[in-house]
Structure 1
Amino acid sequence: MIVGSVCLSHSPLKDRNRADPAVEARFDASVRQAAEFVEAAGPDVAVIFYPDHVNGFFYGMLPPFCVGIEATSIGDYGTAAGALEIPEERALDLAESVLGSGVDIAISYSMKVDHGAAQPLEWLSERHPLARVIPIFVNCAAPPLPTFQRVRALGAAVGAWAERAPERVLIIGSGGLSHDPPVPAMATAPADVRSRLIAGGSLNHAQRYQRQNRAHGEGSAMARKQSSLLPANPDWDRMVLDALAAGDLAVLDAASHASITSVGGRGGHEVRTWMAALAALGPDYAATELFYEAVDEWITGMGVLQAVPA
């Protein structure tokens, strides 16, 4: 059975780039409130819809959706590295159920997850450890992206499985809201970067440090209004949050990829994970917004939403 859902922004810059203390305190309080919600729900397993930041999925073979049967956290931006505790038989059963519902989904026995999955799991485990987890990758960064209609279909299929499950299942959506991370694109990447976008491969220490240090620098530049990246867009975030809280998961159906990128940034596409998580609850869920604020130092519109099925 489904015990509830938490949708929240992640930001790898949070623990190093200091924001206004009052803003940090309010955000931390909202995460604690969500963790208390998780504790009260007492889930046996968490299903997390998460985006990848070109760390685990590459153009050599790029599915729109993928269930992790075995997965490892790469430990970027201070998140814990190591194997996730995935109940293999249950993850396979979930994948088979989703396929049987008519939604095509891949599986992986060698999934690599980054902070997009690890950070929210760690934040929400403060009071009730979310050790047993089934990660579901949703492609939000490497076009072409799945449509919002297919994302909702995925969420509904996962929700049907979870509602029949003997376990108490928590559904997590990790991503967004508006932000414009410095992620390379195939269309503009130099030859060496293009090759890595296709072939993938782990970064060495120097490469990982350089990549993370560049992202931290962009957060500092954003706070000084000197970044070349698109800042978080509170108006767009508010429109999306209000729609999701009201149960309108079709709010972006008519929006093109380019239009979302232009107003919500390249990271705005990660709202797909929230839509999948909320679609899993069914059409009549009740949602409560715990936090929203655009935080320049974290280059992200930071939001936290919790919901329960009707």
Structure 2
Amino acid sequence: MTAAAVGLSHSPLIGKNDPEPEVLARVEAAVGTAKAFIRDFDPELVVLYAPDHYNGFFYKEMPPFCLATEAHAVGDFGTRSGPLSVDTAAAKSLAQGVLDRGVDLTISARMTVDHGFAQPLEVLFGGIDRVPVVPVFVNGVATPLGPVARIRALGTAIGEAAAELDKRVLFLASGGLSHDPPVPVLDGAPPRVADALIEGLPPTPEQRAKGELRVVQAGRDYVAGSTAMVPINPTWDNRLLDHLAHGELTEFDSWTVEAMAKEGGGSAHEVRTWIAAYASLAATGPYEMTSRFYEAIPAWIAGFAVTTARGR
């Protein structure tokens, strides 16, 4: 088995509220490096760790993480809707391997995913159905959230199980670093919002469009400085990337839920996808981070990063 990892931040504001052309050029260059890395590695399977933004997972049942044997995308924020090309046999094998290693894993035979999954597949592979994939949802927004050590344990177990597949496996993380976008919370929500967060009532096209416009406006307000959102934190973001680059994954075990939100914002827990992906790679042997890009991008309300890594 040969393994590699790519981390790619996503943002629903890409193409809708973009930064200056020189910033976009730097992002495109970093993404181009990642795409060339993937072409060279030529993965036979992609294990995609990504969050959800109340499009597929709701408080009626909210697992800390969940692996899909089948998945379809809702098509939010301009991403494509439809089925992902899930490698069901590989997904079932990984699921059993994780359970055999003592990690309690939720399984979905029909997972609904949103732009957190679709965007990296479209950006890096040209579509949501171009590469065999095993989608793994990692909760990064719905409290209460479990300890980060359990996410590292999940990634380790999946990496060990993937090593038994005898394939070229790419572990792909999708998530912003520090960011605090306007995501609804259950505590104190009005009854209509609370019901939607619990029951998962699908929005009408009009409701989805209004919600997306609110996010776009939030990005514009953030750039203008008229917002109460927690600021992007490059120091915290680069500390995370340093730990990943040096293989210091046990350092994350001491990171608390409260401190992560205070330093990185309410959605900073999307970095759990990065920790899981790098833990999976580390489980297959020593690795080297071969490229690293980071930039704070207020227009996208995110600390934005792109990394590549492969086994030594």
Q: TM-score range by the shorter chain?
A: over 0.9
* Cross-structure match for 2:223: 223
Show CA shifts across 1:164-221 (max 9, x none): 2132211101112000021111112111111111111211101100111000001111
CA spacing shift, 1:271–1:69, aligned 2, 3 Å: same
Show CA shifts across 1:253-291 (max 9, x none): 323222211110011111110010001112622113431
* Cross-structure match for 1:69: 69
SS at match of 2:13: coil
User: 1:103-182 alignment to 2 at 5 Å?
Assistant: 103-126=103-126, 130-182=130-182
* Cross-structure match for 2:44: 44
CA–CA separation in structure 2 for the residues paired with 1:286 and 1:193: 45
- In the superposition, the TM-score normalised over structure 1's length comes to 0.96
CA spacing shift, 1:67–1:23, aligned 2, 3 Å: same
Task: Indicate if the aligned counterparts of 1:51 and 1:116 stay in contact, CA closer than 8 A.
Answer: yes
Residue 289 of structure 2 corresponds to residue 287 of structure 1 = yes
Show CA shifts across 1:24-56 (max 9, x none): 100011011101100000111111011111111
SS at match of 2:267: helix
Structure 1 residues without counterparts, runs of 5 or longer? none
SS at match of 1:253: helix
How far has the Cα of 1:146 moved from its partner?
Answer: 2.7
Task: Indicate if the aligned counterparts of 1:49 and 1:174 stay in contact, CA closer than 8 A.
Answer: yes
Residue 310 of structure 2 corresponds to residue 303 of structure 1 = no
User: Structure 1: which 4+ aligned runs deviate by more than 6 Å?
Assistant: none
SS at match of 2:55: coil
- In the superposition, the TM-score normalised over structure 2's length comes to 0.95
Structure 2 residues without counterparts, runs of 5 or longer? none
Show CA shifts across 1:59-90 (max 9, x none): 11111111111111011111111011112122
Alignment-mate amino acid for residue 43 of structure 1? P
Identity %: 44
Question: 57-66 or 241-250: which moved more?
Answer: 241-250
User: 1:50-89 alignment to 2 at 5 Å?
Assistant: 50-89=50-89
Give the aligned length.
310
CA–CA separation in structure 2 for the residues paired with 1:291 and 1:136: 24
CA–CA separation in structure 2 for the residues paired with 1:164 and 1:150: 22
CA–CA separation in structure 2 for the residues paired with 1:217 and 1:288: 36
How far has the Cα of 1:126 moved from its partner?
Answer: 4.6
* Cross-structure match for 1:200: 200
How far has the Cα of 1:131 moved from its partner?
Answer: 2.3
How far has the Cα of 1:297 moved from its partner?
Answer: 0.3
Aligned-residue Cα RMSD (Å) equals 1.6
Alignment-mate amino acid for residue 287 of structure 1? M
CA–CA separation in structure 1 for the residues paired with 2:51 and 2:159: 19
